[in-house]
């Protein structure tokens, strides 16, 4: 639908053409993130602008906040969203579709028929399985039935966001609706998880780019996440890492150390156990990201962290010292060395699950105040 209609009849006509220079810049960035050269990035930009790279996409919403769609399209710098819409033929998307009711259902089924075996299914939100799946119904069908129906003839499935990837917020204990991620239900398709709550638009864009340009899906880790985006921890490239290595920590929100931009580990930063590229790619196509604005990483890309651990809990430290490429650290605080700092976390993790013990080893006298936050 989005591909074949003249602009004035296209339901997505309000998405104006992106400025060419910005368009090129985004293509180059996205191409680089999946390991393609700048020349390939220019070719992609040209092909995308000419409309030749336009796989059909059906986008289903289940239990979620629509933040995944919002972050793609309504960031303060929305060119990534525009590029995505120019690169794909978005044939069904409940938030963006101008049609509703029977018309919308018709659009969905026409696409499923016309692009059988070719379309990409993007799923946003978790799927409730309890009580026959009655907690999420669209057009009289449960999310479970819709997912089974639409995934059946999809070429591939992309689960966007932590809800679709792992169940997300709805699956937090006690998980009243029996919410699960796509991979718990779809077993016979290639699935790519793009977790994050919400996820970084570049990680979705990079995945789509690889599919439309190379015809392949990215290399995935054990959680089905593209390694180009989730293969390294936040901690490895965090701008606050030198503070961690030197033992300089915010002890509670708003204290002097926090204002100085010190490491947020002791107030619950999950960066050491979180695979994601926010520290290098920033977030939502802005210069901002959680740690950059003083908030600990909550592990929003990790199946076993987001909404599964308390925000103030600390995590295991797997790499106690900084990479050899880092400049040497001179500890500023008496009695704390970089190695001691890291080993404290390591020992804690080895004993009973980092959090509690590691925090105790690192805590100082005003740690009690942290609990008030």
Contact at 8 Å (CB) between 47 and 231? Answer: no
Q: Number of C-alpha atoms within 13 angstroms, CB side, residue 366?
A: 11
* Residue selected from 204, 211, 244, 307 as contacting ligand SF4 according to rule CB under 6 A: 244
d(CA 231, CA 234): 10
What character string, x for contact with ligand F3S (CB under 6 A) and - otherwise, covers 290-319?
A: xx-----xx-xx------------------
CB of 239 to ligand SF4, least distance (A): 7
d(CA 144, CA 159): 14
Could you tell which of ligand FSX, ligand SF4, ligand F3S, none binds residue 161, using a CB distance below 5 to 8 A set by kind?
ligand FSX
Stretch that binds ligand F3S, among 88-96, 119-127, 222-230, 286-294 (CB under 6 A): 286-294
Residue 229 binds to ligand SF4 (criterion: CB under 6 A): no
The label of the residue with tokens 């105040």 reads 369
Q: Which helix (H) or strand (E) holds 358?
A: helix 355-362
Distance of CA 346 to the CA centre of its chain: 27
Contact at 8 Å (CB) between 273 and 318? Answer: yes
Helix, strand or coil, per DSSP, at residue 145: helix
Could you tell which of ligand SF4, ligand F3S, ligand FSX, none binds residue 68, using a CB distance below 5 to 8 A set by kind?
ligand FSX
Contact at 8 Å (CB) between 196 and 230? Answer: no
d(CA 119, CA 107): 13
Residue 265 binds to ligand SF4 (criterion: CB under 6 A): yes
* Residue selected from 36, 112, 209, 269 as contacting ligand SF4 according to rule CB under 6 A: 269
d(CA 140, CA 151): 18
Could you tell which of ligand F3S, ligand SF4, ligand FSX, none binds residue 355, using a CB distance below 5 to 8 A set by kind?
none
Could you tell which of ligand SF4, ligand FSX, ligand F3S, none binds residue 144, using a CB distance below 5 to 8 A set by kind?
none
d(CA 56, CA 113): 12
The label of the residue with tokens 């299914």 reads 121
Residue 300 binds to ligand SF4 (criterion: CB under 6 A): no
Residue 194 binds to ligand F3S (criterion: CB under 6 A): no
Rounded to the nearest 10 degrees, how much is the dihedral formed by the CA atoms of 57, 62, 64, 67?
20
Strands (E), 13-88: 56-61
CB of 69 to ligand FSX, least distance (A): 6
Could you tell which of ligand SF4, ligand FSX, ligand F3S, none binds residue 235, using a CB distance below 5 to 8 A set by kind?
ligand SF4
54 vs 225, which CB is nearer to ligand FSX?
A: 225
Contact at 8 Å (CB) between 123 and 60? Answer: yes
The label of the residue with tokens 């059909």 reads 56
* Residue selected from 97, 143, 264, 267 as contacting ligand SF4 according to rule CB under 6 A: 264
Could you tell which of ligand FSX, ligand SF4, ligand F3S, none binds residue 264, using a CB distance below 5 to 8 A set by kind?
ligand SF4
CB of 162 to ligand F3S, least distance (A): 9
Contact at 8 Å (CB) between 156 and 192? Answer: yes
Residue ranges binding ligand SF4 (CB under 6 A): 234-235, 238, 240-241, 244, 263-265, 269, 271-272, 291, 297
Residue ranges binding ligand F3S (CB under 6 A): 196, 234, 274, 276, 278, 283, 289-291, 297-298, 300-301
């Amino acid at each position: 639908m989005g591909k074949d209609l003249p602009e004035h009849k296209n339901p997505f006509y309000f998405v104006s053409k992106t400025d060419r220079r910005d368009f090129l810049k985004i293509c180059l960035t996205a191409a680089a993130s999946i390991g393609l050269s700048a020349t390939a990035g220019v070719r992609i930009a040209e092909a995308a602008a000419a409309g030749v790279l336009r796989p059909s996409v059906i986008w289903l919403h289940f239990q979620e906040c629509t933040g995944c769609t919002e972050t793609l399209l309504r960031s303060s710098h929305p060119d990534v969203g525009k590029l995505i819409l120019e690169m794909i033929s978005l044939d069904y998307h409940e938030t963006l579709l101008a049609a509703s009711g029977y018309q919308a259902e018709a659009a969905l089924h026409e696409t499923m028929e016309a692009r059988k075996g070719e379309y990409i299914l993007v799923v946003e939100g978790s799927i409730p399985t309890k009580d026959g799946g009655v907690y999420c119904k669209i057009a009289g069908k449960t999310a479970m039935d819709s997912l089974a129906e639409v995934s059946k003839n999809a070429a591939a499935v992309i689960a966007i966001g932590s809800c679709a990837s792992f169940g997300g917020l709805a699956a937090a204990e006690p998980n009243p609706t029996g919410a699960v991620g796509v991979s718990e239900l779809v077993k016979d398709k290639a699935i790519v998880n793009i977790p994050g709550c919400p996820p970084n638009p570049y990680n979705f864009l990079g995945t789509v780019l690889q599919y439309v340009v190379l015809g392949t899906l990215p290399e995935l880790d054990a959680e089905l996440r593209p390694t180009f985006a989730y293969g390294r921890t936040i901690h490895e490239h965090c701008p606050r890492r030198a503070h961690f290595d030197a033992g300089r920590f915010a002890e509670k929100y708003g204290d002097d150390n926090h204002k100085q931009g010190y490491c947020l580990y002791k107030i619950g930063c999950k960066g050491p156990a979180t695979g994601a590229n926010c520290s290098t790619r920033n977030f939502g196509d802005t210069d901002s990201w959680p740690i950059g604005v003083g908030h600990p990483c909550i592990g929003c890309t990790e199946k076993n962290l987001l909404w599964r651990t308390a925000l103030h809990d600390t995590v295991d430290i797997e790499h106690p010292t900084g990479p050899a490429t880092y400049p040497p650290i001179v500890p500023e605080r008496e009695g704390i060395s970089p190695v001691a700092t890291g080993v404290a976390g390591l020992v804690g993790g080895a004993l009973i699950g980092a959090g509690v013990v590691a925090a105790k080893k690192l805590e100082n006298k005003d740690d009690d105040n942290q609990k008030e936050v």
